[in-house]
Structure formats: C-alpha cells, structure tokens
Amino acid sequence: MTGITHIRYPIAALACWIAFAYTLVPLLRGHRRNAGLTALCVSFGCQGMYLAMSTPARWTGTLFGTITWYNVSVQLWIIAVLASQQILLIHWMYPRDEARVRARRRLLLLAVVPVTMVVLFFLATLQGPPRNVFKNLGDQPFFVAYQAAYLTAFVVGKILVARACWHFAKLTDHAWVRRGLRIAAAGAAVELVYPAGRYADVFLTQYGWNPLQWSDVSRTTLTIGMVLNIVGWTAPLWGPRVSAVRGWLADYRSYRLLRPLWLALHRAHPEISLPSSTGSDLSALYDLRFHLHRRVIEIRDGCLALRGHHGDPGAVLSPGQGAAEAEAAHIAAALAAGPRAPGQVPDGLAAGGAAPATGSPAAGGADGTAPDSAGTGEVPASAAAGGPDFSADVAWLVQVSRAFARLRPAVTRPDGEPVRTL
C-alpha cells in the first residue's frame, strides 16, 4: 500500500465509526424495531471494518502480490455494506410488512454473492496462491472468476443504490432526507470508479495496462465515495440541527437589523419597552426567540404611539420609493415632528379616524408600491402588516428598519434640534 493509504483509510474509518456510534445510540435507547435504522447502523459498521482492516500494510500484504483469505474477508465487508444499504432503502420505500418480505428476498439473493466468492477463491487456492497479477488470465481462471464476481456485484449494487436514492429523493418532502439521498447517490456514483479500475487491472494488464499507475486513483475514489455515503445517510440525523443553527443565526441577524427602528421608537416613547430591557443585542443571546418577539411587539407599540404625532413624509421620501421606504418615511416624519398639541387633529386624518399602515404591502397598491397618500401627512398605525405569520412580519419590519436606517432624514424638530433616527 502506498503512503497516502495510511492517511486516507484511518480518517475514513474514524468517520465510519463515529457514524456507527451516532446511529447505535438511538437503537440502544429503544428503537431496536426500526429495521431501517438498524440497517444503516450495520452499513456504517461494515464500512468501518473494511477501512480499518485495509489500513495496516503488514496485514494486507503487497498490493499486487499474494492474496490471502484476509483480503477476501475485506472485500466481503464491502458486499455486506451493499446489502445493508439496499435493505435500508427497501424499508424506506415500502410499507413495513411489504418491506420485510422484500428485504428477506433481497438478502437471500445477495447471499449468493459471498458464497460464490468463497467457493471461487477456495478453488483458486487449489491451483496455488492467488496473485494480483493478470498478464495471462489462463494461469488462474478461478481467481479471475472470483474478481469478476466481486466487481460485478459491486457495480450492480452501487447502481441499484444510486438509482434508488435518486428516485426516493424525488418522492420525499423532508428536505434533509432529500439532500442526504442525493449525496448518497453521488457517493455511490463516485465509487464506481473503483471497480472500473479493478476491471482494467484484471482484463487489460495483458494489453499494457499499468495497475500501479491507477491504483491510488481507484482506491481514493472509493474512500471519497464512502465519505459521501456517510454524509448522505446521516443527513436526516444531523441536518435538522444545522437548520436550527441557521434559523438561530437568521433570527439574530433580524434582531440586530431591527435595532435602528426600535431604538428610534424607544427614544421617542420609552414606555414601549419592558422595564428590564437593556436594549443590548448581546442580552438577546439567551432566549433569542423571546427577545425577537419582544422587539417586534415593541416596534408595533411604538408605531401605534406615533398616532399622537404629526409630520410630512414627503420631507424624507423621494419619488419612486417602494413600500418599505414609504413606511420608513412616515415613521421618520412622525418622529421628526414630535407629539401634536392636545386637541390637535393629525394632518390628513378625519376626526376619530385611524391611520393606515400606508407603507405596508397590505395598504399599498397591487404591485406593492407606496400609495398616493404618501404626501398627505398620514402617519402609520402599525408597521407590521408584512404577512399573516410572525416570520413574514419580521421580514417586513426588517425591510422597514433598513430603509429607515438609510433615510437619515434632514428634518428637525419644532425646537430646531436635529432628529437622530439611529
């Protein structure tokens, strides 16, 4: 074995054993009847055995020298991997009762492969020690047949796994199952380079093929394919956690982007915030979802409080701006004008009327643009009309807050003090 094998095989074996332990834990916790999970665990264990047994050069012998029963056992672990992966897919694709019947039939069919390999190798040993040198195929016909049986079973098994993974990925609605199956299908396709190289070693050496030139390539692709299989098959287990982390990061980003709008409203109306609120973004790291909900509610309360203000959004709104910019302009204008005098009727509002959220998509035109009332002096009752759920409201308020931060309106309060929107 070459020096690179001492690096790639132990690393791949370690990854397999980690995946094996990761899938073994739920089985030990009471999911023993989950045939699919059991097959997945067995698959990782067999891959780990193959890679671990292939690592020490003093055990495996020379690459193209004498072949022993130890080498046969290594290849039988590969057949076990193919069998367990097919059983796993059967249990995923069919109802439980039907899957059991199909799995038994498939195991009986696959059992022919190791039996054939063992018989052919035994017959090959009767003619002398088998050798991985195939310049004259007639010298060791049984060992050639053994290699052909093993490689053919490998190719057929990988093609079946790749096709089943790709087909089932189109049927599932679970995002991480779909991604994992596609990665596993890609891994199975990459592994097909290995039998192609080994076929050439057996049948093309007599025509000038140099096995040593491509041995590292074929075995490296086998290792890469196995790693892709590990990633793909375990994706449904660790994928949701990745999504949770991404969701947390998105929530924290939204929380920070809402700060300019929240801070301006808080300065104008401190009563919208909880007494214990620090306003620090770092304080939201603990129980982020609660703090994000709280910030959205406080922004809504602040926008409701702006009904007691008056102002001209045309002073900060440029022609052709979108709905978020129009909403931000109304808020900035209301903050700039300050509270109206007692008994004063807001500009553009009928007595006792309620101010619409003019910049929101719900109050804008059919194309989402700002309505024509942008210059009437109306102030928003709420900036949270972004959609029917919380996520849509957050997305809408983030747009308004970013637009609000970009405006930096050149307007002043009635007392001449410049307005700070950030």
The pLDDT of residue 273 is 82
What pLDDT band is residue 10 in, cutting at 50, 70 and 90? Answer: confident
- pLDDT tens-digit readout, 178-229: 999 999 999 999 999 999 988 888 888 777 777 777 777 887 888 888 889 8
Question: What is the band of 159 on the pLDDT scale with cuts at 50, 70, 90?
Answer: very high
Give the confidence band of 310 by pLDDT, cuts at 50, 70, 90. Answer: low
pLDDT tens per residue, range 105-136: 999 999 999 999 999 999 998 888 887 778 77
pTM of the model: 0.70
Q: Is the pLDDT of residue 339 over 80?
A: no
Mean pLDDT score of the chain, rounded to an integer? 77
Q: Would you state the pLDDT for residue 28?
A: 82
Is the sign of the CA dihedral 84, 85, 86, 89 positive or negative?
A: positive
C-beta neighbour count of 229 within 10 angstroms: 29
Provide mean pLDDT across the span 289-304.
89
161-173 residue pLDDT tens: 999 999 888 888 8
Percent of the chain at pLDDT above 90? Answer: 30
